[in-house]
Chains A and B, each alone.
Chain A
Amino acid sequence: GNSVTQMEGPVTLSEEAFLTINCTYTATGYPSLFWYVQYPGEGLQLLLKATKADDKGSNKGFEATYRKETTSFHLEKGSVQVSDSAVYFCALRRETSGTYKYIFGTGTRLKVLA
């Protein structure tokens, strides 16, 4: 079936460190891929998306590239800030006979220390 697997957290980094959060997926066809972020006490917000192979999504210094050959959508940021501390969710959207379902990973908590 369709699923998303994320690296387990928590991930603890110092400010200005490089961030990678791994995400791989299993899906039939060519799903759209998303990263959502959940800041403490808030709802999930879209961070970035990619809709086809080799697309790169980017926002707020974060990037992720849709890699069909490795079924991956790893999230990266060159220099994290304390304000990036949050839980990050990788997700896919699959279409079946005109219905659309969004499937989320379990989330990766990021803690950035000053």
Chain B
Amino acid sequence: DTGVSQDPRHKITKRGQNVTFRCDPISEHNRLYWYRQTLGQGPEFLTYFQNEAQLEKSRLLSDRFSAERPKGSFSTLEIQRTEQGDSAMYLCASTLGSGANVLTFGAGSRLTVL
């Protein structure tokens, strides 16, 4: 068990470009979450998967954001036509769908939009 892995760890892009982040959760975890964290703030919920089904999306998630978890394992978060306001740390977390579940976080993917 290598924990939750996120890639890339850092991404610098120009405004208007598309970016994609990948998250590999802990292998037996069926629930996967994406959060965004800006400086001095707590993690802000973006979306949540149970297996391959996307069960909830934040109203903050504009139509430029899309997330997938095609086989119920890894997940991708794509941001199209990036804006400077998208600069943030994008966090992935996973958990097992039973009991008093604890989220296990990855180290995050930092996005800087120039």
Binding site for B on A (CB under 8 A): 4, 32, 34, 36, 42-46, 49, 51, 89, 91, 93, 99-107
- Find the A residue at minimum CB distance from B100: A51
Q: Is A100 in contact with B42, judged by CB distance below 8 angstroms? A: no
Binary per-residue interface labels of chain B (5-42) against chain A in the complex, 1 for a CB within 8 Å, 0 otherwise? 00000000000000000000000000101010000111
Q: Is A105 in contact with B42, judged by CB distance below 8 angstroms? A: yes
A109 → chain B, closest Cβ, in Å? 8
- Find the A residue at minimum CB distance from B43: A104
Which of A51, A100, A103, A105 has most B Cβ within 10 Å? Answer: A100
Q: Is B106 in contact with A43, judged by CB distance below 8 angstroms? A: yes
Q: What residues of A have a CB within 8 angstroms of the CB of B104 in the complex?
A: 46
Q: What residues of A have a CB within 8 angstroms of the CB of B107 in the complex?
A: 42-43
Tell me the B39-82 residues at the A interface (CB within 8 Å): 40-45, 48, 50, 55-56
